[in-house]
Amino acid sequence: MPFSRHISASWAHIFETDLFASFDSATVVVIDNILKEFEESVPPGLKDRARTQVKTCLQDVKLTMRNTIGVVQQSLVSEQKRISRCVTPHVQAQLAEGYDQATKVRGKGSAVRQKARQIY
């Protein structure tokens, strides 16, 4: 049971955290740098117009990223059960040795000794 509680808490935490925050900010930084390079390369007579286009483009990028990440997060949540079923055999395989060793512990006080024995 302690294994299950630990795993389920960690598993739930994966789906509660914002997995894409660093991706979002890093992507926006890269695109912002490209747009700044573009703005700097424009002839002086077109600077104001380029600056306006850069601001519009950056707003569009942020909106698109927010929408895309929202769709991906919704997909992740909706696929959580399927993902759990796929991961279950791998988790069971990792825990099998510990459970096998714990079942060999018998006699008075065996439950306490089983819980105390941790294999990582």
CA contacts within 13 A on the Cβ side of 88: 7
**pTM (2 decimals)?**
0.57
* pLDDT: which is higher, 27 or 5: 27
Give the mean model confidence (pLDDT) for residues 96-118. 72
Our CA dihedral for 5, 10, 12, 17, rounded to 10 degrees, sits at: 160
Q: What are the residue boundaries of the structural domains of the chain, listed by start? A: 20-78, 86-120
Kindly report the average pLDDT of the chain as a whole number. 83
* pLDDT: which is higher, 113 or 55: 55
- Rounded CA-CA distance 48/33 in Å is 18
79's enclosing H/E stretch is none
Give the mean model confidence (pLDDT) for residues 14-28. 83
- Structure confidence at residue 2 (pLDDT): 59
